[in-house]
Every structure is written in structure tokens, then in C-alpha cells.
Amino acid sequence: MKFRELYLDTTYVMPFFYLDIDVKGFSRSVYKEVIKSLERIHFSEISIIEAKAKSLKIRVSRKRSGVNEKFNEGLSAISTDEKVVIHGYRAMDDKKFNEFLPLGLGFFDAVILAQSCTVGNLLTEDSRLLHLKDIGVKIINWDTLLREMGIREK
């Protein structure tokens, strides 16, 4: 299956801030090919805040230098790349959020799921989200994405 657009959960936003993720079979080079093949990628402004919080902790706890600079470089690129759509919280999202919150989701999970409705899909590794059925959003993980796009792990 060919995806033209994809809504990314925070996990898949981390690599744009030079943070690798521990998803099985994930590599930056394969991810690059996936991103290249898409017309648009979407994610929530919340994911940027989550990435910032994580990068700050890495800077302090792992004593890594250059973390702030790399984060800013990533933020600058995602802000100017025409492929990227950053979602704020709109009235339509709020209606969906109110529908989704009673499903036992966390606060941010429900916001991100609500925002992904306009795109119709969501790439995530969150098991609670992956178990949801018949909610009008195709929720997939990395493994499913590669299979559906016909990409083999390198």
C-alpha cells in the first residue's frame, strides 16, 4: 500500500532532533527512504515539546554537549520544510478528543489520536493505541508500515 501522508506519534518525531529510537528494525536510513516517499508528514506540536523535554534530560543526565544546538537545528528544519505539517489544537480536534478520552487513553495520546483523524492514519508504537479498533484512523506500527509499503529492513 502506498501512503501519501502519515501522522507521526512522538516516537517518530525524535529522529528529526537527532535522537534515535529503539524500535525493532528501525534505522535512520530506512526512515529517510520512508519520509522521502511521502508527500506530507504530520505531527502534533505536543510532540515537539516532548522531544524538547527529552533532549533537555539527555543533556543533563548523560552530560551530552551540543544537544540544544542539534534540537534547534532540527526545529529550524521542520519549521521550514514544506513536507511537514505541525498540528495545533483546534475545535475539531477537541470534539474528537472528547470522544477518545473515555477509551482509557492518556491525555496526550487522546490529543494526538484526535489530531490524526484529519489525516486518517497514525504511526505509533503505543500498545494502547495499536489495540483500538473502528475509530476511523488506521493505526499502525513500524513493522506494519514497512510491510505495507513493501520496504525490506536493511
Partner 1 sequence: MSRYVVKVGKNGELYTPKKLRLLMGLEPGSEFVAEVKGEELILRKRKTIVNLLEEEAIAKVSEKEIKKERELLEKELLER
User: Judged by CB, which is closer to partner 1: 93, or 126?
Assistant: 126
Q: Does 21 bind partner 1 (CB under 8 A)?
A: yes
Amino acid 110 reads A
Contacts of 82 (CB under 8 A, 6+ apart): none
Nearest to 47 by CA among 19, 80, 81, 5: 19
Whole-angstrom Cα distance, residue 12 to residue 150? 19
Q: Does 31 bind partner 1 (CB under 8 A)?
A: yes
List binders of partner 1 among 45-84 (CB under 8 A): 49-50, 53-54, 57-58, 62, 64, 66-67, 70, 73-74, 76-78, 80-81, 83-84
Contact 108/46 with Cβ under 8 angstroms?
yes
User: Judged by CB, which is closer to partner 1: 25, or 106?
Assistant: 106
For residue 138, report the phi and psi dihedrals to the nearest 5 degrees: -85, 110
Contact 41/86 with Cβ under 8 angstroms?
no
Q: Does 10 bind partner 1 (CB under 8 A)?
A: yes
The footprint of partner 1 (CB under 8 A) covers 10-11, 14-16, 18-23, 28-29, 31-32, 35-36, 41, 49-50, 53-54, 57-58, 62, 64, 66-67, 70, 73-74, 76-78, 80-81, 83-84, 106-109, 125-126
